[in-house]
A = this chain, B = another copy of it.
């Protein structure tokens, strides 16, 4: 199956709540960048994280193996630095081959969880 997608993606709305209700990890408040690589070779992916009032962080580097999906929890990024909680951010994702990116947040700050998702903005 040929590759599907684009090489440059952007998520403008990022925010990881620091509080949660419900069992961890599945109901921990989190954001995920869901990456799909349909190609027959692995995709090398770099993320750059933008903030309101400081220089961008990154690049964060992950690999998505051939014919695999990686639901990357933004909460788990630590190298070069963790993403601060309760802080507006945005993210640009660049891959060395076409991938598909979808952005999701699960917010369990209140007793019941809320969900949101969107296909990210694609370019290239």
Residues of A near any B CB (own CB < 8 A): 1, 4-5, 8, 10-15, 17, 21-22, 26-27, 32, 34-36, 38, 48, 50-53, 55-56, 67-71, 86, 88-90, 92, 100-123
User: Which residues of the other chain, B, contact A35 by a CB distance below 8 angstroms?
Assistant: 12
Question: Are A48 and B116 also in contact (CB < 8 A) when A10-B100, A12-B69, A109-B27 are?
Answer: no
Task: Report how far A114 CA is from B106 CA in the complex, Å.
Answer: 9
Contacts A4-B8, A4-B10 supplied; 9 other A-B pairs, CB < 8 Å = A13-B104, A15-B71, A21-B110, A22-B110, A26-B86, A69-B89, A107-B115, A108-B110, A110-B113
User: Which residues of the other chain, B, contact A115 by a CB distance below 8 angstroms?
Assistant: 105, 107, 114-116
Interface of A is mostly: strand
Closest chain-B Cβ to A18's Cβ sits at a distance in Å of 10
Give 6 A-B contacts (CB < 8 Å), ordered by A residue: A4-B92, A50-B68, A69-B89, A100-B121, A110-B113, A119-B121
